Amino acid sequence: MDVSERVNWLKLSTELGRLSEKALLAIAQSIQEQEIQENRRIGLEDTQPAALYILYNGHLESYRTSKTSAAKATSLLPGAIVYLKELLLDEVAEETVITLDDCTIWTIPREEFIAIAQQFPELGQAISRQLATQLEQAEAELAYEREKQIALRPYLVPKVKRGIVGTSRYATRLRQEIKKASSDRGSVLIFGEPGLEKDNSAALIHFGSSDRKEPLIKINCNTMQPNGAELFGRVGKPGLLDWIGRGTLMLNNLEDISPEFEEKLVQLLKTGQFTPIAREGEPEPEPRSYEARLIMTSEKVLPQLEKCKLITHVIKVPPLRVRKSDIALQADYYLSLLTKSRGIAKPKITPEALRRLQGYDFPGNYVELENLLNRAITQAEGRELTEEVFWSAGDKNRRFRVNLLNAYPKLRQFLRSSWWPDRINYGFTLGLFAVVVVVLFAAPQTRDRNFALNLFWAWWWMLILISFPFVGRLWCAICPFMIYGELAQKISLWLFPRKLQPWARQSAEKWGGWFLFGLFTLILLWEELWNLENTAYLSGCLLLLITAGAVIFSVLFERRFWCRYLCPIGGMNGLFAKLSMIELRAQQGICSATCTTYQCYKGGPQKGEGMETGGCPIYSHPAQLQDNKDCVLCMTCLKACPHRSVELNLRPPGIELWTTHHPSYSEVCLLFLLFGAVFLHRLPQVEQLFGINLHLDHFGIHTIVSMLALMFPAAISLLFHQILRLLNRRSRPFLELAYGYLPLVLGVSLAHYLHLGLTEAGQILPVTAATFGGNAELIATLPIAVAHPAVIEFLQAVTLIGSFWCSVFLTQKIARQPIQNLLPQHFALVILGSGLWKLIIVS
């Protein structure tokens, strides 16, 4: 190439083209042409450039190595001028320049070029132009980056939330599958039930891959335009697939995509190309390639994608219910996270609570578990997390209910008023109980001459047994024992301000039932051996004993510890309340979605329509109640709730016994103890029926016979259960089936007390007169209401027959097996029921 050709080329192909002819000629004359092979360095950063280089042919790359950031390389094409600025400004080279392939380079040695520059000052302007061009380029790049950031920012996933927790084989396999998917750039489908944090698994794949420095964006398919315009862009407007480059695109909730988008997605996966969306009237744009990696998450596999086998990795995330062994670790992990974010100490979860979590199916998976723990931490207020503070949303067993509070607004008004139960308790029951106890000690000691004894044995026992199927444990809301307990608590706190002891929940759960069973046994023996029914002062002692328990435990512990765990009457009430046709519960949906204060449980100041209360006195949460045992119907929660979540439901009687209740051994023992108590009360009839002398006048023999009577129903039931197990290997355990006897126990107890009630309760007026020393004439004039023996027998018979069939029905419901499989248990019912028929009605 001669000089004039070089001048022309410089003019046309380089930034020097604006120089004068003379200057270009001087440059062209100084050029030495060199052929340089691929991958040779022609200049080194931070050193003086040896010459000016003009790339005539081939490719160069300039770069600067940096210890603090990634090296950024620029590719240079023919016409590029290297080290012009450095030579004109006498600086060291900013970048290293190497050949990318075999190149033809025109070189002007440093001294010669400096001489030309001195001769032609216009060369200084060339450098200004070069700098201006570079600046323009940099600005364009910056603007592009800025636009890209703006486009991607709403969708960016900055980091992984968490790893896969657990050691089960499911957790291990999931980790392996995620690792495998991270090792290449193939498309991935992650599917599984809601709440499994599938997007987090997608993030684990991206951030575990070699593309981790590229962006990860997540698009929720349910919010995307049906034609996918955000993704594919429009003519003249890039979409996310353009912006993301080699990053990862996560299509979240793929099950929500439109059929239109589904087709485009199939094309995208099949061809590796997409077509921007054309507006109406615009020509169809050309298809474009994309570099991004695709990860999709879905609740199900889309048939079309599966059919075309377009996905490289398909990962199924196992639901939490099949990973029960991971629940402990997962719960512990969430607890650490949640307590850390609140800046509080991590509470312990009791083994029972953990078992309860493991027994639950978690339809909402991790999300539900996390919410459950979050609520539990709020509710527990720093205490250990017991099973009471875990309650789940969505209970399919809550059918067949009518909320009486909605049906009868006046009932709601009454139960939220100060009348229930405080004004009744402190205005009436408190005083009446004191009178009853004084009369029991001070007045004549037999039932026909002491109205308090009549009230206790003839009225109270009959009425409370009748009340159980209708109002459950309502007695406990107006119970005088506890009113004195509450009063003692208030006075003691006033006299000695202090913090009452928290409950030892674990031990109480474990031993409370056995304590009250033991105490009830002793009371029954005491009643039988010392004839409490007809000895007023001893009956008074019995009432005082229970009141003393309530008072002592109320002075020591917060709220009503005695009522929750230890009271024998409360134990009986809780057991029979399971048969009730009403229940108090809260709507779990409202509680979990709208409540943050849990005032029903914790108490607190007035909020909205929720009144100021001290919270549930027996530490029950109305949304977590699984049976009626732990609710005394005090309505504190109804008053406290600001969200109208609490319901008083009418329901099929006893439905919880075959749906939600928790059986326990101590409660089953109490059940048979109450059964045995009827045989105990009927020992004289046993003697009469069998024509034997049980020597009940001998204390020792009487004690032994009484204990045998108490154990008799349990022995018969266990014997027949063993026969049942022999005949039916798949039968339910005794612990569950034993509750089938409950209606019969209530029925026979009522049949027993009906006699006393219907013959003596109606004599209350003459008995009251006798109590206060009324003379025989006056007593004879007072009205009485006594049922005819035939009426009593009829009512007892109806009660026995009705309760027998209720027991058969309940046993069937609990067992969920054909009747022939349960014949031995039904036979035991027949034996015990007919035995009591003979003792109560025939004898």
| Residue 300 burial (10 A CB sphere; 0-12, 13-18, 19+) | exposed
The DSSP annotation for 484-541 comes to: HHHHHHHHHHHHS--PPBPP-HHHHHHHHHHHHHHHHHHHHHHHHHTTGGG-HHHHHH
Task: Taking the CA atoms of 346, 351, 354 and 356 in sequence, report the sign of the dihedral they define.
Answer: negative
Count of residues touching ligand SF4 (by CB under 6 A): 36
Which of the ranges 16-24, 271-279, 582-590, 822-830 carries the binding residues for ligand SF4, by CB under 6 A? 582-590
Q: Is 724 in the site for ligand SF4 (CB under 6 A)?
A: no
From 89-97, 119-127, 412-420, 561-569, span contacting ligand SF4 (CB under 6 A): 561-569
Q: Would you say 234 or 383 has its CB closer to ligand SF4? A: 383
Least Å distance, CB 563 to ligand SF4, is 3
Q: Give the residue from 587, 548, 578 showing the smallest Cα distance to 655.
A: 578
Rounded CA-CA distance 319/403 in Å is 34
- 317 exposed, middle or buried (CB, 10 Å; 0-12, 13-18, 19+)? buried
> Under the criterion CB under 6 A, does residue 377 sit at the interface with ligand SF4?
no
836 binds ligand SF4 (CB under 6 A): no
Q: With CB under 6 A as the contact rule, which of the stretches 83-91, 92-100, 160-168, 569-577 interacts with ligand SF4?
A: 569-577
Residue pair 211/247 in contact (Cβ under 8 Å)? The answer is yes
Dihedral pair phi/psi, residue 616, rounded to 5°: -55, 125
Q: How far apart are CA 430 and CA 479, in angstroms?
A: 9
For ligand SF4, the closer CB: 174 or 550 = 550
User: CB-wise, 482 or 839, nearer to ligand SF4?
Assistant: 482
> For residues 499 and 551, is the Cβ–Cβ distance under 8 A?
no
Stretch that binds ligand SF4, among 464-472, 592-600, 752-760, 828-836 (CB under 6 A): 592-600
Which range touches ligand SF4 (CB under 6 A), out of 50-58, 447-455, 535-543, 594-602? 594-602
Handedness of CA 374, 379, 382, 385 (dihedral sign): negative
Please, are residues 740 and 828 in contact by the beta-carbon 8 Å criterion? no
Q: Does 646 bind ligand SF4 (CB under 6 A)?
A: yes
Told to check if 573 binds ligand SF4 by CB under 6 A, we report yes
641 belongs to the binding site for ligand SF4 (CB under 6 A): yes
Stretch that binds ligand SF4, among 9-17, 45-53, 147-155, 618-626 (CB under 6 A): 618-626
DSSP string over 131-166: HHHHHHHHHHHHHHHHHHHHHHGGGB--S-------
The DSSP code for 604 is: B
Site stretch for ligand SF4 (CB under 6 A), options 22-30, 498-506, 595-603, 761-769 = 595-603
Using CB under 6 A as the criterion, what x/- string covers residues 535-554 for binding ligand SF4?
Answer: ---------------x----
Closest CB 169 distance from ligand SF4, rounded Å: 38
DSSP codes, 418-438: TIIIIIHIIIIIHHHHHHHHH
Q: Based on the shown chain and the rule CB under 6 A, indicate whether residue 433 belongs to the binding site for ligand SF4.
A: no
What does the block give as tokens for 542? 């019995």
Tell me how far, at minimum, the Cβ of 429 lies from ligand SF4, in Å: 11
671 lies in the site for ligand SF4, by CB under 6 A: no
Part of the chain binding ligand SF4 (CB under 6 A), chosen from 271-279, 426-434, 474-482, 668-676: 474-482
DSSP H/E element including 252: strand 248-252
How far apart are alpha carbons 20 and 26 in whole angstroms? Answer: 10
Contact (CB, 8 A) for 249 and 294: yes
| CA dist., res. 696 & res. 712, Å (int) | 17
| Contacts of residue 717, Cβ cutoff 8 Å, sequence gap at least 6 | 672, 734, 738, 741, 825, 828, 832
Contact range with ligand SF4 by CB under 6 A, out of 219-227, 536-544, 627-635, 750-758: 627-635
Select 604 or 747, whichever has its Cβ closest to ligand SF4: 604
Give the nearer residue to ligand SF4 in terms of CB position, either 349 or 482. Answer: 482
User: Which residue among 250, 453, 464, 479 contacts ligand SF4 (CB under 6 A)?
Assistant: 479
| 745 belongs to the binding site for ligand SF4 (CB under 6 A) | no
**Alpha-carbon dihedral 547, 550, 552, 555, rounded to 10 degrees:** -130
Judged by CB, which is closer to ligand SF4: 197, or 627? 627
Q: Does 624 bind ligand SF4 (CB under 6 A)?
A: no
Q: Among 151, 357, 389, 618, which residue interacts with ligand SF4 (rule: CB under 6 A)?
A: 618
Residue 187 in contact with ligand SF4, rule: CB under 6 A: no
648 makes contact with ligand SF4 (CB under 6 A): no
Of 542 and 584, CB closest to ligand SF4: 584
Compute CA distances 506 → 351, 388, 423, 512, 562, whole Å: 9, 11, 34, 10, 15
Q: Which residues pair with 607 in a beta bridge?
A: 610
Compute φ and ψ for 183, nearest 5 degrees.
Answer: -85, -10
**Interface region with ligand SF4, contact rule CB under 6 A, candidates 195-203, 345-353, 619-627, 780-788:** 619-627
Does residue number 421 form part of the binding site for ligand SF4 (CB under 6 A)? no
The interface region with ligand SF4, picked from 87-95, 512-520, 596-604, 651-659 by CB under 6 A, is 596-604
d(CA 472, CA 729): 35
Contacts 24+ apart (CB under 8 A), 424-430: 424/478, 425/478, 425/480, 425/483, 426/483, 429/478, 429/479, 429/480, 429/483, 430/480, 430/483, 430/484, 430/487
Q: Between residues 276 and 480, which has the closer beta carbon with respect to ligand SF4? A: 480
Residue nearest to ligand SF4 (CB): 570
Kindly state whether residue 437 participates in binding ligand SF4, applying the rule CB under 6 A.
Answer: no
Q: Which of these ranges, 305-313, 636-644, 776-784, 801-809, lies near ligand SF4 under the rule CB under 6 A?
A: 636-644
The span from the CA of 251 to the CA of 244, in Å, is 13
Instruction: Work out whether 362 is an interface residue with ligand SF4 (CB under 6 A).
Output: no
Interface segment toward ligand SF4; rule CB under 6 A; list 114-122, 333-341, 477-485, 733-741? 477-485
Which residues from 692-721 bind ligand SF4, rule CB under 6 A?
none
Among 62, 252, 599, 799, binds ligand SF4 (CB under 6 A): 599
Tokens found for residue 286? 């050309």
Contacts of 665 (CB under 8 A, 6+ apart): 513, 735
Interface residue with ligand SF4 among 436, 439, 524, 584 (CB under 6 A) is 584
Would you say 356 or 564 has its CB closer to ligand SF4? 564
Asked if 567 interacts with ligand SF4 (CB under 6 A), we say yes
x/- track of binding to ligand SF4 for residues 9-48 (CB under 6 A)? ----------------------------------------
H-helix segments, 240-390: 240-243, 259-271, 303-308, 324-342, 351-358, 365-380
CB of residue 633 to ligand SF4, shortest distance in Å: 5
Please give the full DSSP string across 1-16, using - where no structure is assigned. --HHHHHHHHHHHSGG
Among 151, 181, 268, 563, binds ligand SF4 (CB under 6 A): 563
d(Cα 568, Cα 566) in Å, to the nearest integer? Answer: 6
**Residue corresponding to tokens 């109980």:** 433
Q: Name which of 58 and 622 has its Cβ closer to ligand SF4.
A: 622
Ordered DSSP codes for 56-72: EES-EEEEE--SSS--E
Q: Which of 586, 810, 839, 840 is in the footprint of ligand SF4 by CB under 6 A?
A: 586
Q: Which is nearer to ligand SF4, 199 or 583 (CB)?
A: 583
If one asks whether residue 631 binds ligand SF4 (CB under 6 A), the answer comes out as: yes
The site for ligand SF4 (CB under 6 A) is made up of 476, 479, 481-482, 550, 562-563, 567, 569-570, 573, 584, 586, 590-591, 595, 598-600, 616, 618, 620, 622-623, 631-637, 640-641, 643, 645-646
